[in-house]
Amino acid sequence: MAIMTVRGPIPAEALGPTLAHEHLLFDLRGLWDAPPPDRAWLIDAEPTLASRGDLSRDGYDSRPNLVLDDAEVALDELARFAATGGSAVVDLTTVGIGPRPEELRRIAERAGMHVIAGAGFYRARCLGPDTLALSVEEIAERLECAVRDGIAGTSVRAGILGELGTSSPLHPFEERQLVAAARVQRKTGVAINVHPAIWSHEHLVILDVLEAAGADLTRVVLSHCDELVEPAWHARIAERGAVLSFDTFGSEAYFDRELAQEPRDTDRIECLLRLCESGFTSQLVLSQDVCTKLQLHKWGGTGLDHLGRSVLPRLRHRGLGDREIDQMLIATPRRLLDVS
């Protein structure tokens, strides 16, 4: 029984409190769109105290905000996470959003932290035409190679497939990737993490595609479920056997162009408690999906330690005990990442 980290396999029991969805090095500029003329000054401006208010209304207007490329900043964040008792981070940076597996390994070595790397492809919008033309068989070959030998020709082996990007509706490539991932899961036992389009309701469609291709849905994680404050919808996902990732704690941004707003942590906590009360605690994992500079401590964000410093005390105040919290932070990540 072992979990594959960027530094090699570890016994499953060595995995402690785990952040299930993070990005230590990252490049999300593939999702950048030109802002309105009155916000054009933000396009190439590094986030600052002066621009923070404007970027809180749409952080995607700043291209530099969408790039995490500083190992020292990543190390500082990991140290803060470790100080709250953190043990491991699952880095789900896949093709299209700047995976750097060898640098990830160096960061893990310096931090003395367990880091599990994901493999696969992000949303179709972030991929080139040659990638979008890949067949199911070609995608499966690349995914299996990342798990068996190493990611993108390196010796850093993936410990999970994902985050596999999807849109609403699913792009044909994204659907082929789900089928390929199901095949690789059947062959290797590795878990799958899927990024559903934010604020969409594609979760059951994703599960349908995976299940039809033979995936074990108990080893499938659907990310960003806490971006929807819809307990009844969460229950429908959980009833299929999949794991729900409540992984955007600390992110409470506005998106003016879409007239949209992320939930508050208090809303996420209410949904989480409803799922626990309904008996789905073992199908929940937690994280913060830090993927912009504004979320990091250096730029005034809540960082990788937000869960331990703010969210867990609130969960305990609402009546969750160590048994439930350890299930979400330790036992379920162990089960998902352990490949016997």
Distances in Å between the alpha carbon of 42 and those of 2, 56, 197, 255? 46, 12, 25, 15
Cα 143 to Cα 152: distance, rounded to the nearest angstrom: 10
Structure confidence by residue, pLDDT tens digits, 137-164: 999 999 999 999 999 999 999 999 999 9
Cα 30 to Cα 227: distance, rounded to the nearest angstrom: 21
φ, ψ for residue 120, nearest 5 deg: 140, -155
Arithmetic mean of pLDDT, 189-213: 98
Q: Return the residue matching tokens 């941004």.
A: 253
Arithmetic mean of pLDDT, 298-304: 98
Arithmetic mean of pLDDT, 59-82: 98
Arithmetic mean of pLDDT, 43-56: 93
Query: What DSSP string runs through 162-226?
Result: EEEE--SSPPHHHHHHHHHHHHHHHHH---EEEEPPTT---HHHHHHHHHHTT--GGGEEETTGG
Cα 316 to Cα 181: distance, rounded to the nearest angstrom: 37
CATH number of the domain that residue 83 is part of? 3.20.20.140
Q: Encode 22-44: b = buried (16+ Cβ within 10 Å), e = exposed.
A: bbbbbbbeeeeeebeeebeebee
Q: For position 258, what pLDDT does the model report?
A: 86
Arithmetic mean of pLDDT, 271-292: 98
Cα 328 to Cα 117: distance, rounded to the nearest angstrom: 19
Whether the per-residue pLDDT at 340 is higher than 80: the answer is no
Arithmetic mean of pLDDT, 293-307: 98
How many domains are there within the chain?
1
Whether the per-residue pLDDT at 1 is higher than 90: the answer is no
Range of the domain at 121: 2-339
State the CB neighbour count (10 A cutoff) for residue 259.
Answer: 7
The chain-wide mean pLDDT, for the chain, equals 98
Rounded to 10°, the helix 172-188/136-148 angle is 40
Structure confidence by residue, pLDDT tens digits, 315-334: 999 999 999 999 999 999 99
Q: Is 7 exposed, middle or buried (0-12, 13-18, 19+ CB in 10 A)?
A: middle
Cα 249 to Cα 295: distance, rounded to the nearest angstrom: 11
Q: What is the pTM of this model?
A: 0.97
Structure confidence by residue, pLDDT tens digits, 211-241: 999 999 999 999 999 999 999 999 999 999 9
